[in-house]
Amino acid sequence: MILTVTLNTALDVTYRVPELRPHTTRRVTEVTERPGGKGLNVARVLAALGHDTVVTGFVGGVTGAVLRQLLAEIATPGGGPKAPRGTITDALVPIAGTTRRTIGVVDAATGDTTQLNEPGPIVTTPEWSAFMDGYGRLLREASAVALCGSLPPGVPVGTYAQLIREAHAAGVPTLLDTSGEPLRRGIAARPHLVKPNADELAGLTGSTDPLRAARDARRRGARAVAASLGPDGMLMVTAHGAWRATPPRRLTGNPTGAGDAAVAGLLSGLVEEVPWPDRLARAVALSAAAVRAPVAGEFDRAVYDEALARVEVTEHPPAAA
């Protein structure tokens, strides 16, 4: 199974309005709620791809109860009437605090989404100890682990580095998808793969050139770097080479969750041991297909199949000595 860690889970609430304008009142035409947080979105896409997943992290309060209920009710991630080929197992750790909400407001006139993210509950020392005990047990059965998203209050900034070292000790490959100081600290622990976007990579390395920045991130400890370039695709730098994948066309829609779908593509490629360029193509196709889905954690299967067949992958020349 694939383990996804979401320390700052969320109840994702999406509002759809005909048009969004500041300082005015708008009637909401549709409201959807989904279990959210980056790792939960990744797990839903992985299940749609046929992989058994376990989700862990923290959950609490009224919104946490709703999140767990919705997680249990999920049918097919990615849409469709069939049951998922892969399973999602809830191994979330209860806490006294209340799980945060993330509010997405979709403007039907433009297709743009405005996102509002609450900070999350405070995690106590005993709650953290309970999580670490469970994490150690879950690693024994994991084929890979994804460490995703922001850290809730009360969790040390070096937490991801600690979790990466625990996974290394258990012989489990890691993917890190976070930002800021947690990313900087986590990379130093040598994760197998990091997936920053271009801005996060520039903030880490000081370079605005994605290829140069990705190579710098590898020197800082990451064994491989997959840098998201938004609608322009994704760049991959590994010890075996560097590639860039470009989607066949630009798609409009809801970009929330596109990066999580890309993580699912990279993880599935890792455990299936497919070549790096094929992992990259899968990630870009899933990211494009997620833009066409109504909410994060889902993807349009037809768009994915079409994009995967047409993604262009080009190899970069080796870095100069």
Please give the C-alpha separations between residue 65 and each of 4, 39, 222, in angstroms, as whole numbers.
19, 18, 36
Distance CA 282, CA 288 (A): 10
- Compute the C-alpha angle 138/139/142, nearest 5°: 95
Question: Annotated catalytic, 260?
Answer: yes
Chain CA centroid to CA 224, Å:
16
Distance CA 75, CA 71 (A): 9
Distance CA 210, CA 307 (A): 23
Q: β-strands 234-238, 2-6: how paired?
A: unpaired
Distance CA 24, CA 10 (A): 27
| Annotated catalytic residue, options 199, 260, 278, 300 | 260
Contact 39, 148 (CB under 8 A): yes
Distance CA 248, CA 226 (A): 19
Tokens of 94: 């209860």
Please give the C-alpha separations between residue 52 and each of 85, 91, 277, in angstroms, as whole numbers.
8, 13, 24
Residues forming the active site: 260
